[in-house]
Amino acid sequence: MEPIEDLDVLSEDEVRQREAGAGSDDEDLDRVEHGYEEAAGAKQVYIETYGCQMNVADSGVVASVLEDSGYGLTQDQDEADVVLLNTCAIRENAEQKIRTRLGMLRAEKEKRDGELMMGVLGCMAERLREKLLEQEDLVDVVVGPDAYRDLPRLLYEADSRKPSGQAAVNVELSKQETYEDIQPVRYDSNGVSAYVSIMRGCDNMCTFCVVPFTRGRESSRPVTTILSEVAQLAEEGYKEVTLLGQNVNSYHYTDDDTSVTFAELVDRVSRVSPEMRVRYSTSHPKDCTDALLKVHRDRPNVCNYIHLPVQHGNTEVLDRMRRTYTREEYLALIERGRELCPGVSFSTDIIAGFCGEAEEQHQDTLSLMREVRYDHAYMFKYSERPQTYAARKLEDDVPDDVKQRRLEEIIGLQNRHSKESNEEEIGRIHTVLVEGASKKSDEQLFGRTDTNKGVVFDREDYEQGDYVKVRIEDCTSSTLLGTALEKTTLEEAARTDSITAAPAAA
């Protein structure tokens, strides 16, 4: 069998062509007429989610589509008639994890004499398409991220083809599909914070990244449907929304009557309820505007936290990555953010060992980290992905042991910065939104500060969903430990914070 990495996959141009023709097959999916509901019967579906927050949000869409056509949802794999893996393809080890999992499910399917249906959804499905079936003959459906409305039909088809076992596949990408009308099922949510998808796809084509190939072109969801989803969440008692997209700050929705930028969208979302915190992920430095920074400054419920992936600290490497900013421009942006929003917290993503990275260039990443002093970072070893420009045109020439050592240096430095940044919090008072019990003890609660730092404190009479004023007493490199002072509201906290801040500002 062909090794997966050698598979012939689509080029950038082919992706564009496929998208040009996709999204137009408005096939009538009247489930009753087609008998999809009968196919569903009393079948129970178990969904397992890998990868980024977009996939978590998409699993909610999948659950909603399936529930609407008669399937039940279960959190217990042993009860399931259908197991769906919503997959990630961002790095080789993400795909390896799925292959290992499929191996385990193969045994489960054999134990049940083939009576378990299996689906691979998401980015790995999109990347490998039919090739996945050559590798994994136990898979019954392969569904890309823009084809989830078609799942009932695909499951029906795969089911009716049993026992011959030919799989049903839909991996068409669509510039139109934003699932704007689907209320996602939030079956694994804590009831306090929710993801709201605002756009899909990515047009950036960073040279290392597979996402533009697995998710297709960028498209923005209509603003009214976003606002009504947030309003509905507020009504259900949610206290925090995270607006999601691969590059949220290039959000731009236009129709005959409206033209809304990301800064305007965040502003409007923040006005749905004063008690709803607003976050977003992920933002690209090239689109982080003054207008957006001012929304952070002016709207008390827009969190003082920005995830701003830098990827690298050397301009030449950034250029090879096609990130479209220089080291100096990035640093100027951080400075501008701190000037407009004092106390703003930054986190980042960093890649170690990209093609052609010289030792001094790696040192530039470390020195940039020292200049910025991120509160948190996600750090990765470069992993070559088929189809990408880097895989086709650049040489993955940093030996693995060197990549590993550089990554460890980056992680070591970040751990020091995280610890020091947490130590500076000792003695401060934060407004913490309680997400639930802490991992270690039911007697303690876990929540987050406005700046996205995790805090643990004694439960007393406080509850999930409360805003609590907490004084920070101690910390580890990842968590703050505090004492609860009193319950509060976001509006109240904003008022008292501005009173406390006033003398310093004067």
Distance, CA of 263 to CA of 292 (rounded, Å): 5
| Binding site partner of 178, from ligand F3S, ligand SAH, ligand SF4, none, Cβ cut-off 5-8 A by kind | none
24 CB-contact burial (10 Å; exposed 0-12 / middle 13-18 / buried 19+): exposed
How far, in Å, CA of 349 to CA of 360, rounded? 19
Q: Which of ligand F3S, ligand SF4, ligand SAH, none does residue 217 bind to, with CB < 5 to 8 Å depending on kind?
A: none
- Residue from 9, 209, 445, 470 that binds ligand SAH (CB under 6 A)? 209
Q: Does 421 bind ligand SAH (CB under 6 A)?
A: no
> Judged by CB under 6 A, does residue 284 bind ligand SAH?
yes
Residue 373 is encoded by which pair of tokens?
């002093």
Q: Which residues make Cβ contacts (< 8 Å) with residue 352, sequence separation at least 6?
A: 362, 365, 379, 380, 381, 382, 403, 406, 407, 410
| Neighbour-count burial for 354-389, b at 16+ CB within 10 Å, e otherwise | bbebeeebbebbbebbeebebbbbebbbbbbbbbbb
Angular region, 321: left φ>0, alpha ψ -120 to 50, beta rest: alpha
* Residue span 272-301 as binding mask against ligand SF4, x where in contact by CB under 6 A, dash where not: ------------x-----------------
**Within 78-97, which residues bind ligand F3S (CB under 6 A)?**
88-90
Select the binding partner of residue 167 from ligand SAH, ligand SF4, ligand F3S, none (C-beta < 5 to 8 A, by kind). Answer: none
Contacted by 212, from ligand SF4, ligand SAH, ligand F3S, none: CB < 5 to 8 Å by type: ligand SF4
Name the DSSP class of 90: S
Contact string (CB under 6 A) for ligand F3S, positions 182-221, x = contact = ----------------------------xx--xx------
Shortest separation between residue 389's beta carbon and ligand F3S, angstroms: 16
Which one, 20 or 205, has the nearer CB to ligand SF4?
A: 205
Q: Report if residue 244 touches ligand SF4, rule: CB under 6 A.
A: no
Helix (H, G, I), strand (E, B) or coil at 111: helix
User: Which of ligand F3S, ligand SAH, ligand SF4, none interacts with 55 (beta carbon under 5 to 8 A by kind)?
Assistant: ligand F3S
- The single residue among 212, 216, 245, 454 that binds ligand SF4, judged by CB under 6 A, is 212
Residue ranges of alpha helices (H) inside 376-489 are 389-393, 400-423
Q: According to CB under 6 A, which one of 4, 39, 45, 52 is a site residue for ligand F3S?
A: 52
Cα separation, 343 vs 264, whole angstroms: 22
Whole-number minimum distance, CB 436 to ligand SAH, in Å?
Answer: 26
Q: Is position 54 an interface residue for ligand F3S (rule: CB under 6 A)? A: yes
Q: Are 61 and 88 in contact (CB under 8 A)?
A: no
Q: Exactly one of 59, 204, 301, 449 binds ligand SF4 (CB under 6 A); which one?
A: 204
Please return the burial class of 187, using the count of CB atoms within 10 Å of its CB with bins 0-12, 13-18 and 19+: middle
- Dist CA 278 CA 428 (whole Å): 22
Binding partner of 98, given ligand F3S, ligand SF4, ligand SAH, none, CB within 5-8 angstroms per partner class: none
Q: What is the DSSP letter of 77?
A: G
Interacting residue ranges for ligand SF4, rule: CB under 6 A: 202, 204-206, 209, 211-212, 246-247, 284
